[in-house]
Amino acid sequence: MPNETTADDDENPLDAETTPERTTESETAEPRPSETAETERRRVHVTRGLVDLLLDMAEDAEPSSVNLVLAPTPAGEFDADLGLDPETPVLTHFYMAEAGQSVSAVFGMDLGTPAGRGRARFLTHPQGPFELTERDDLAAVVLLAVPPWERRTLAAFDRAGRKLELAVLDAEPPQEELD
């Protein structure tokens, strides 16, 4: 089923996987709750500001690769209603890989990432390929970018290398205050 926003020959790596059309009259057009839950599990939400920043960092680092830990904010903590379940994680922040690196090298502990954070990573492959490799640091979700550093060359994968749907949200994360 062609995507109406792209030309037939346009290769957009972020197109969602299509599901077969239903042909029986007894089924409604509304998805079943189990289908909705499965779709949400295969969707990664991220703010446009974070996407823009990550792609800029990738371009600045080229020809070196980038490997950053990403952290979410629950959708319910945003000032605006995102139309998502309040517990849905939205990727909003990153942590520099250098933070805590010397302790990690000696003791094997990642002290640069706060506890409970960092279930996602941003990786770049400046020379390709546009897929996860055995050499990549994996996480539950991996955002992977390749040149040219544009939205169409950014995709989300699970740790097994299966492509996930990437939903970029025009929303600002809540302001954080230092205590």
Task: Give the model confidence (pLDDT) of 138-152 as tens digits.
Answer: 889 999 999 999 999
Q: Which two tokens stand for residue 4?
A: 């109406």
- Structural domain includes residue 15: no
Q: What is the dihedral of CA 6, 9, 13, 15, to 10 degrees?
A: 40
Q: Chain-wide mean pLDDT for the chain?
A: 76
In a domain, 18, yes or no: no
Instruction: Determine, yes or no, domain membership for 136.
Output: yes
pTM of the model: 0.70
Angle at 167 between CA 43 and CA 80, to 5 degrees: 110
User: Between β-strands 43-47 and 163-169, what pairing exists: parallel, antiparallel or unpaired?
Assistant: parallel
Chain position carrying tokens 């197109």:
15
At 77, is the pLDDT very low, low, confident or very high (cuts 50, 70, 90)?
A: very high
pLDDT tens readout for residues 93-121: 998 765 444 444 555 544 444 444 458 99
Cα gap 70→113, rounded to integer Å: 9
Greater confidence (40 vs 65) lies with 65
What total number of domains does the chain contain? 1
Q: Check residue 37 and give its pLDDT.
A: 58
Q: Fill in the amino acid letter for 30.
A: E
Mean pLDDT over 124-138 rounds to 92
Q: Which residues lie closer than 8 Å to 111 by C-beta, 6 or more apart?
A: 99, 100, 103, 104
- CATH number, domain of 149, equals 3.40.140.10
Tell me: pLDDT of 25 over 50.
no
Q: What is the pLDDT at residue 42?
A: 86
- Residue 130 inside a domain? The answer is yes
Q: What is the pLDDT of residue 121?
A: 94
Instruction: Confirm whether 23 is domain-assigned.
Output: no
Nearest of 6, 76, 45, 25 to residue 143 by alpha carbon: 45
Domain that holds residue 79: 33-169
